[in-house]
Structure 1
Amino acid sequence: MTRLYMDTWAASYGAAFQGGDGPSSPSTAKIETHHEVDTEAWHPIVAPEGVRPPDVVLLVDGVQRVDGTLSTEEDDGASFPGLAASYAAGVVRCDLARGAAELAGAQVARALFTASPSVGDVIAGQVRYAVHKVSGSGELSKLQGSVQGPLTALEVEISATARTDGDLLVVDGPLRGRRHLPRTIGYVKTQQSQYLPPALALVVTALRPWQRSPVFALGTAWGGWSWYMRLPGSSGAPWSGIVRVECSPDLSIEQAVELANLSLVTLPRFASTSYKDPRAPQNLIPIAGLERRLRGLLGDPRLLHRALTLATARLT
């Protein structure tokens, strides 16, 4: 008999699983599933006795916003689009020993992304948009993706200032350019592709809260060691509350398993609830608070748009 489930993740955010037909859409990435547990013996895993969360957990995230789109007129008659964007990164320090959380650092940056060879920084009132040259034709549809690199660099910079011995750094999203950071995991809350074959995907959907899958190797350009876990507070639907966690491919399988067990006793305690967060339980409580704080730091978008309009009018 067909079963229906209501996803606890609010429909206005899409779905907790995204892309194609959801998590059943196969990925072309090469997957190795035998490293921690033989593929034929895959089963849900609980954390071994004695594994305790670290005293300090750092959660880092970044936000970005388009403040305005511009275009240039070059001396030779050519024209290039530009994207004025604000972005910010911050880190929350959760002291589990004291039961306290605080903003450990935040930084805002603004830039004009364009392929124009001649444009300079744009001064909009009291705000400077530093020019960031992009390669290629600089199509407007692709410019927003150019913000991710500087934003990742800002996240690395801000998290480095807050690190202490023995902490665990949790990055909201894939690790990307942060795979070199020690004791760092990437937290992927939306599942865009199904990396595992159907038989092993059944192991994932059979997970109960506070359980994880075995560690597997994800052979993509951005991949590494990875595993799935289910957070508490899910609706019971097959993929509800399922998140994917990853760590650096430079680690040994033993080190990856250690981080997997550490994440299993740490991340579920931060799971959100549906009456507080429309992206529950995947949107971790410290991350949700950090996002709100960072978006506030970006400033009033209406004032910035007006300042950009006046600045470009003066240049014209």
Structure 2
Amino acid sequence: MTNTARPAPMRFHVDGWDPTYGSSVENAEGLDNAVGDSTARVIPDVETVTADWKPISPSYGPAPGAVLFVDGVRRVEARIWIEQPPPADRPAPVAASHYSSANAADATMALCASYAAGTVCCCPGYGAHLLMVESRRGLFTTAPNAVDVPTPAGTYRAHVTADDMEENLAVLLSSALQGSLRDLEVLVATNARTALDGHGVAGGSDLLVVDGPLRGRTHLPRALGFIKSHRTAYLPPDLHAMVAHLAPGERTPVFLMGTSWDRHAWYLRLPCTPGPPWAGVVRLECAADVPREEAVALAELSQRVLPRYAGCEYKDPRAPQNLVPVAGLERELRRRLGNSSLLARALRTAAAA
């Protein structure tokens, strides 16, 4: 007779703590990324020799046919605990439906999260408009028995990542979530360029600006990573000090830098009111494998294009670095994530079912 028994359904429990404050039982050790000295490999003399480094003023040139701004948002709705099957030599707890210390010891923490990515297009015929949005819900875990979690508010698709005993579990799961968000950003960027065909934009004339580092997206052509905040001094001290003397619209020469990945980079000061030495300064990145001349051309293009999109201080506390199209895109993406309280309630209902 054929055995048609179904595997036991995945049982999980929702952590009662608001995920904003972390888990009620997690160890926070290792979660803080302390600011330290940079270990990046830096080659300053890409555009000009180090001895001739000085602020570079914007140059005149053609504007791109369209500027595409790509961003993504993420939100952890709840931390859950997925019960693990007991070892073969140990019987299951008597009260399997009760969250007792016996099954709690065999539970693995996981994240239930919503994330979304989108593209705002700025082109002559249409102005600034939302071009592409995609949203997802996901369950991120190392539990091998994890399956999709259907809820009244949507299904959380299971993403099982390999466990790493050397890595803090919360950091590991957060990285898995960030990886999925990055993949979604690549998807909307690629689809947005396809959608440009109906906008009268000449092929290959657009510029793609990704909010955040370009890591994982360096294969996208004509793409820039836009970094708003600075935690590390990558340049040698004398060149790093020069950044504070940039005038609005000026940039540093292009340099090559490498950490766990390589890229061309340069600093640019956006128009802003006078303030601290690094007020209005952003770092731009492009792929390391583009020719030197193309990297310099992208740096010059960033000077001509990005200052016009700088945020206003009276409208945005992150101005001018938080570009106006990106700020609007973030608001729309967060709206499309849904109500966090309702989503958490839906997860609790699913856990009790």
| TM-score of the two chains, using structure 1 as the length reference | 0.89
3-state SS in 2 of match to 1:310: helix
Q: For the Cα contact (< 8 Å) 1:45–1:214, is it kept in 2? A: yes
- Give matches, 1:164-183, under 5 Å: 164=196, 165=203, 166-183=205-222
Counterpart of 1:297, as a letter, is R
Counterpart of 2:137, as a letter, is R
2:9 corresponds to: none
2:180 corresponds to: 150
3-state SS in 2 of match to 1:246: strand
2:11 corresponds to: none
Mean alpha-carbon deviation: is it higher for 215-224 or for 82-91? 215-224
Matched, 1:74 2:101: no
Aligned residues: 291
Q: For the Cα contact (< 8 Å) 1:57–1:170, is it kept in 2? A: yes
3-state SS in 2 of match to 1:207: coil
1:42 corresponds to: 53
Distance between the aligned counterparts of 1:120 and 1:152, measured in 2? 22
Deviations 1:266-295 (A, max 9, x none): 111100011000001000000000000000
Distance between the aligned counterparts of 2:108 and 2:56, measured in 1? 53
Q: For the Cα contact (< 8 Å) 2:252–2:267, is it kept in 1? A: yes
How much does 1:73 deviate? 1.4
Distance between the aligned counterparts of 1:186 and 1:106, measured in 2? 19
Distance between the aligned counterparts of 1:29 and 1:242, measured in 2? 20
Larger radius of gyration: 2
Identity of aligned residues (%): 45
Matched, 1:84 2:112: yes
Q: For the Cα contact (< 8 Å) 2:208–2:222, is it kept in 1? A: yes
How much does 1:48 deviate? 2.5
Matched, 1:122 2:133: no
Distance between the aligned counterparts of 2:48 and 2:68, measured in 1? 30
Distance between the aligned counterparts of 2:125 and 2:252, measured in 1? 30
Q: For the Cα contact (< 8 Å) 2:228–2:321, is it kept in 1? A: yes
Matched, 1:104 2:131: yes
3-state SS in 1 of match to 2:327: helix
Distance between the aligned counterparts of 2:189 and 2:283, measured in 1? 21
Q: For the Cα contact (< 8 Å) 1:55–1:167, is it kept in 2? A: yes
How much does 1:244 deviate? 0.2
1:247 corresponds to: 286
Distance between the aligned counterparts of 1:238 and 1:20, measured in 2? 22
2:232 corresponds to: 193
Matched, 1:222 2:261: yes
Q: For the Cα contact (< 8 Å) 1:63–1:88, is it kept in 2? A: yes
Q: CA RMSD in A?
A: 1.5
1:11 corresponds to: none
Counterpart of 1:236, as a letter, is G
3-state SS in 2 of match to 1:130: strand
2:316 corresponds to: 277
Q: For the Cα contact (< 8 Å) 1:167–1:183, is it kept in 2? A: yes
3-state SS in 2 of match to 1:213: coil
Q: Which runs of 5+ in 2 are unaligned?
A: 1-32, 87-102, 197-202
Q: For the Cα contact (< 8 Å) 1:86–1:109, is it kept in 2? A: yes
1:53 corresponds to: 63
Q: For the Cα contact (< 8 Å) 2:59–2:304, is it kept in 1? A: no
| TM-score of the two chains, using structure 2 as the length reference | 0.80
2:72 corresponds to: 62
Q: For the Cα contact (< 8 Å) 1:234–1:281, is it kept in 2? A: no
How much does 1:202 deviate? 2.1
Q: Which has the higher contact order (CA 8 A, sep 6+)?
A: 1
Distance between the aligned counterparts of 1:291 and 1:110, measured in 2? 17
Distance between the aligned counterparts of 1:278 and 1:46, measured in 2? 27
Q: For the Cα contact (< 8 Å) 1:227–1:260, is it kept in 2? A: yes
3-state SS in 2 of match to 1:196: coil
Matched, 1:26 2:37: yes
Matched, 1:264 2:303: yes
Mean alpha-carbon deviation: is it higher for 284-293 or for 126-135? 126-135
Counterpart of 1:57, as a letter, is V
3-state SS in 2 of match to 1:80: strand
Distance between the aligned counterparts of 2:109 and 2:172, measured in 1? 10
